Amino acid sequence: MVTASTLSRWLVNESVPGDIELVQMATALAAFCFLPYCQIRRGNIFVETFTMRLSKRAQSRIDAVWDFVYAAVAWLMGWQLAAGAWDAISTNTVSLQLGISFGYLIFICAIISGFLGLTALVTALGAVKGHR
């Protein structure tokens, strides 16, 4: 979309209508879709400065605690996103140029956030069992 809009501006001095809105929405959706995958692959950033000398079991327990926290935060975030989606749908909040409803996109992100919480719970339970 960015490339098409840039080329359009260069060739005909006009951008693709709603290009910024579409890129913003797609970026938000892509970011939310990536989070559960990143969590299940243990791809988040780890800071092991203080835990490097601990046993693998102790490291797994610490990871489990933070995965449980992450699950709780993801579910809280999903709950708030669902509330925001309900508000956006009920008030018919739409994008400025294209008139696309934000509510359904926010609701999809709420569902993905709930799935992220489930994924973090699974990785936490795996860490408790000693699987990293």
| CA distance readout (Å), 108 to 6, 78, 85, 115 | 29, 10, 9, 11
Q: Tell whether 7 is covered by a domain.
A: no
Q: Tell whether 23 is covered by a domain.
A: no
Q: Tell whether 83 is covered by a domain.
A: yes
Domain housing 100: 33-128
Q: Tell whether 106 is covered by a domain.
A: yes
pLDDT grade for 131, boundaries at 50, 70 and 90: low
pLDDT grade for 11, boundaries at 50, 70 and 90: confident
Number of H helices, E strands in the chain: 4, 0
3-state secondary structure (DSSP) of residue 101: strand
Cβ-based neighbour number of residue 43 at 10 Å? 11
pLDDT value at 113 more than 70: yes
3-state secondary structure (DSSP) of residue 97: coil
Q: Tell whether 26 is covered by a domain.
A: no
pLDDT value at 26 more than 70: yes
Q: Tell whether 18 is covered by a domain.
A: no
Q: Tell whether 48 is covered by a domain.
A: yes
Dist CA 128 CA 132 (whole Å): 9
Q: Tell whether 14 is covered by a domain.
A: no
Number of independent structural domains in the chain = 1
What is residue 132's predicted lDDT score, i.e. its pLDDT? 58
pLDDT value at 91 more than 80: yes
